[in-house]
Each structure stands twice: as structure tokens, then as C-alpha cells.
Amino acid sequence: MAEPKTVLLACELGGGMGHIDPLLRIAKGLAAEGHRPVLAVRNLSLAWPKARETSFPLMQAPVFFWRTSAGGVHSSAGYADTLVQTGFESVDTLMPLIRGWEALLEDLRPSLIIADYSPVVTLAVYRKLPVLNVGFGFIVPPTNAPTFPPLVPNKPDLVPQQDVLNVIQAVQRLRGQPEPETLTGVFAEAEPFLTVLPQLDHYVHVQRQGHLGPMVELLPPQPWPDQPRFFAYLKATNPKVENLLSALGQSGYAGKAFVLGASADVQAKLSRSGVEILSAPTPINEVLPHVNVVIHHAGINMSQQALAAGRPQLLFPEHLEGLVTAARLHALGVAHYALDDIRPRIIQQGLRELMMQPNFRDSAMKVAKTICESGPWDPLPRILERCRQLLA
């Protein structure tokens, strides 16, 4: 066994368990080989229910809270805009985040960084420590060109990508550290591990390879249930959640919903919609065999698990990442999605078509069969093997 080393697993961005669970899987694999995993995450309260089952140190990652971008799902054109909105806008917004990471790194002295949606720590250790950039398509963008490709056709960047590079170079000069020559150069130094199905890679138009599949268990295609039912996974922070559930409750179909972040009082209020509101999340793979349609905000893990099981999806994306995921699923013929128009009639019509029209069921089953035949999908052995090599 190799000499024990400290490995920092970082998650700066992302609002759900879709980032925490994969990091915990990697951490457990590293611990089994005698290493010391340390997790630094955006939301300690969200991570704690899972992390407390382990002995891994759990720390607060330096994160950017200064400004909330206007426009929601419409506000971004690509990954460079995400950088701008999360601290890379100016030296004064980026430098304190870098300094925060420097303090953590000085205390921990890790030998390796596992970065899940963590661009700031990737810059903080640029050409100083090895980094594995682990995640789905949106958060592991292509780095074979000087700039990031757009995800929304004909939409300009919020800030010119050269301006973002100028900020990065200025910060590096102030730190006395190497300056990347291109914006993508920061991330080109990190090794990419694409934990996504090729069907849902956000940069599928770039024709990338090396898709390892998701860090979650995928069911094989499931038989179509006889009784039409739906399952909804929504967020209490979404301002439209009450209207969504009200429309679903009046759709004529039976269904259950889990609303992330809803207090007991909010759950009681939402239960008046006619949809059964769960007080705790149920593992999605236990739910999928018994429902026909899955309703959610186009989170990548839920999208992939429903797609692999052969379930059509009704989607209400909140961010650019979810919008591109929803568009990919719609192009595959397995989903409807809505942005601003969530009138009850629109929601109910979309749900009815996904439930009753055979073309959605047939397309979902066809894609699910392709995913199953291309598997098995499990990126963990590849990731751990590379960790082994770097830590040896």
C-alpha cells in the first residue's frame, strides 16, 4: 500500500446532492487504500447528512455570494459566464476566494485535488499540484481551444472571455504565480474525467470522447407501469414550485413529490395541491420502476437515471446547465420542458402527452436500451486508478 496522503475533494458550486454523493464515493475509495480524504464543500448543511456517516473532515469551501445574476436560465451563454458569475469578474472578487483556498491548502497540505465544479481551487493550485477535474459535461468543458465554446447559439458572453483571462492573469501576477496564456489553459492543466453519458454531454456538438458514465447507479430499462403515475423532485427555493404542484395535482394523474428544502409547515401547505408530498427523499432507483414520468429541474443525475430506466421527463430548468440538459432530452424525443410559461394547461398537456403518447415511451425505451448495451458505466475504478498513480 502506498504511503498515506491527504487528498482534498472540493465542491465550490452546485446546489444539490448530485455533487456530494460522487465525491463521497471517491473519498471512500481513497480511504480504503489508506489515504486521508478531506472534503471542502459549498453547503455544509446539505453535505452533513451524508458526510456524518463517515469520519472524513468536512470544511467550508471559499465561495462567492456577492452578487446574484439576473435573468436566471436566460442569463448565460456558456461556461465563461459561469466563471464571471461566481467570482472571476474582477481581481477584487477573485482574489479573496484564492486567498481563502490558500489558507486551507496551507493547513491541509494535500498531495492531490479532486475538483468537482471547483474552478477557483483549480486556479489556486495551477501548476503546483495535480488536479482531477471530475464531473458531467457542463463542468468539464473542452479545453482544446483558447476560449470556451458557446452553449447558446448566437448569444454573446456576458463579459468578453479575454476580460476574464485578464483578471486571472492579474491575480496570478499579484500572487507571483504562473499566468495561463489562454482562458481554457487554467483547466487544461487538470485531467478531465467525464462522468456523464454521451447522450447528455452538454458539449456533444464538440464531438468529445472518453465518457465514463455517471457516478450514480443506473437501472436497466424498466417495464412500463400499467397505472399512470408520476414522481416529482423539486426545490422549495424555486418560486414556481407551488404553482407547479397545484397544476400537477389537478392533472388527473396520481403522483408523489419530494421538495428539497421544504420545512414541515411548507410540506403541509404543498400537500393541499393534491400531490402526496414526501417528508424525506426516496432513492430514485426505488421510485423509477413504479412511475411513468419523472418531473424535475433537469438536474443531470436525475436526468441520467430516468433516461437509463426508460422514463419520459417533464422538465423545469433553473439554470443554463439545466436548460441545455432539457434541450438534449427533448431532442432525443423523451422530454418536454418549460421555462417561463408554466400555466396549468401547459403543464397538464405536457404531462398527458408524456404519459399517453406511445412515441415518448418508445423513444425513452430505445435510448435506455442503447445506454444499457453500451455499459456497464462506472467511472470510479478509472478515477481511483489515476489517483493511485499520482499518489504513488
What residues pair up with 296 in beta bridges, in sequence order? 233, 315
Q: pLDDT tens digits for 93-109?
A: 999 999 999 999 999 99
Determine whether 179 is exposed, middle or buried from the number of CB atoms within 10 Å of its CB (0-12, 13-18, 19+): middle
Distance between CA atoms of residues 122 and 26, nearest Å: 18
The boundaries of the domain holding residue 303 are 229-374
- Are 368 and 387 in a shared domain? no
Chain CA centroid to CA 249, Å:
28
- Are 193 and 243 in a shared domain? no
Q: pLDDT tens digits for 79-93?
A: 999 999 999 999 999
Q: pLDDT tens digits for 209-253?
A: 899 999 999 999 999 999 999 999 999 999 999 999 999 999 999
- What is 152-218 written as a DSSP string? STT---SS-HHHHHHHHHHHHHHHT-PPPSSTTHHHHTSEEEE-S-GGG-TTGGG----B---SS--
Chain CA centroid to CA 239, Å:
20
Q: What average pLDDT does the structure give for the chain?
A: 93
- Are 289 and 300 in a shared domain? yes
- Are 318 and 384 in a shared domain? no
- Are 137 and 237 in a shared domain? no
Low-confidence residues in the chain, pLDDT < 50: 69-70
- Are 52 and 176 in a shared domain? yes
Q: SS3 of 80, please? A: helix
Backbone φ, ψ for residue 153 (5° rounding):
-60, 140
- What is 288-311 written as a DSSP string? GGG-SEEEES--HHHHHHHHHHT-
pLDDT the model gives residue 19: 82
**Residue 312: inside a domain:** yes
**Residue 224: inside a domain:** no
**Residue 1: inside a domain:** no
**Residue 255: inside a domain:** yes
- Are 11 and 129 in a shared domain? yes
**Residue 279: inside a domain:** yes
**Residue 139: inside a domain:** yes
* Helix residue ranges per DSSP H, the chain: 17-32, 44-51, 79-83, 91-108, 119-124, 161-175, 185-188, 241-249, 264-270, 284-287, 300-309, 320-331, 344-356, 358-374, 380-391
**Residue 223: inside a domain:** no
- Are 311 and 382 in a shared domain? no
Q: What is the CATH number of the domain that holds 116?
A: 3.40.50.2000
Q: How many CB atoms lie within 10 A of CB 176?
A: 6
Distance between CA atoms of residues 83 and 66, nearest Å: 13
Before 160, cis peptide (omega within 30)? no
- Are 267 and 295 in a shared domain? yes
- Are 325 and 198 in a shared domain? no
For the chain, what is the domain count? 2
What residues pair up with 2 in beta bridges, in sequence order? none
- Are 47 and 196 in a shared domain? yes
Q: What is the DSSP letter of 62?
A: P
What residues pair up with 150 in beta bridges, in sequence order? none
**Residue 221: inside a domain:** no
- Are 92 and 155 in a shared domain? yes
